[in-house]
Amino acid sequence: MQTKDKILKILEENSNQYISGEDLALELNISRTAIWKAIKQLKSLGYDIEGVSTKGYNLTKSGDILSKEKIQSMLNQNFDIVYFDEIDSTNSYAKKLGEKAFNQTLIIANEQGKGRGRMGRFFYSPKDLGVYFSLLLKPKIDATKSVMLTTLAAVSIAEVVEEMTDKKVSIKWVNDLLIENKKFCGILTEGSISMENGELNYAVVGMGVNIYKPKKGYPKNIENIATALFENDQKQYDFKNKFIANVVNKFMLYYENIESLSYFNSYKKRSISLSKTVDVIKLNEVKRAKVLDLDENFSLVVQYENGDIEHLSSGEISIKDI
């Protein structure tokens, strides 16, 4: 743990009271100059630390700043963690690591320049306003079951949001999470398949979650369909670190017995697509259908206007009577 992280921990444990530079120096066995430099570092990261010459330092709990060290301390399993203040895409970076990574890896970014969603769509990932992270895993499952990773991620995020906020989450098949019918989270699962046994060599589960709304609103192309957990001026102290850690912990709890599908009911009860009229979009063809059910493979059971029934395992839907 770096000096700045040790100081931050002490200030957090003694919130609403001042800790002198001398006391910090004695506790950490370093010079007052080192303390001053570390405080300066923390301020540059965005922490609101008040310094009074006769009292010392006091942390005002008003910031929500990503910290690799804090996330690591809250995880229940060992992960290699890679953090970027800015990157093109956490999924792209994870795929480059791919089979070369020895351990399960968590890649986190404060901003993505080329965040991606399904069908190659751009995922808006502005600085400081969301959490953008990817899990690099080596699951022992057949590649045809990779949808389990996507749905597992969806359930993990939905449950954590409902535990940490007063929001209710619904899921639009297969990977979009909504609050009041607006999207706040997208999930993209990618991987590499073994030609020998059809299993995944590795899988990358990317998650992008809008935590705060942009001060000037969303771009025109998504302003009517996007939302976030909080307004821009409702900053929650240390929410993002806790959120990522809680999602990863919950994901791994389900992941250990992924084929038991213990999370299936949690997914299905939040599925906003059930009983809805939808347009099914496959291979540039659009067909109107009624959603009948979600089967145990997370395929959407739909009935077309001609009476044909299909279990959709791929493609996209547009809900018409949401």
Clarify whether residues 153 and 186 are in a common domain: yes
Q: Could you read off the pLDDT of 244-298 as tens digits, one per residue?
A: 999 999 999 999 999 999 999 999 999 999 999 999 998 889 999 999 999 999 9
Clarify whether residues 113 and 211 are in a common domain: yes
Q: Cα 309 to the chain's mean position, in Å?
A: 34
Clarify whether residues 28 and 165 are in a common domain: no
CATH number (domain holding residue 212)? 3.30.930.10
Q: Could you read off the pLDDT of 102-141 as tens digits, one per residue?
A: 889 999 999 999 887 765 677 899 999 999 999 999 998 8
Q: How many domains does the chain have?
A: 3
Clarify whether residues 192 and 315 are in a common domain: no
**Type of residue at 131:** V
Q: Could you read off the pLDDT of 151-177 as tens digits, one per residue?
A: 999 999 999 999 999 999 999 999 999
Clarify whether residues 103 and 203 are in a common domain: yes
CB 187 within 8 A of CB 175: yes
Clarify whether residues 303 and 182 are in a common domain: no
Clarify whether residues 107 and 10 are in a common domain: no
CB 28 within 8 A of CB 11: no
Clarify whether residues 255 and 294 are in a common domain: no
Range of the domain at 314: 277-319
CATH number (domain holding residue 47)? 1.10.10.10
User: Taking the model in full, what pTM does it have?
Assistant: 0.88
Clarify whether residues 151 and 224 are in a common domain: yes
Clarify whether residues 95 and 221 are in a common domain: yes
Clarify whether residues 102 and 232 are in a common domain: yes
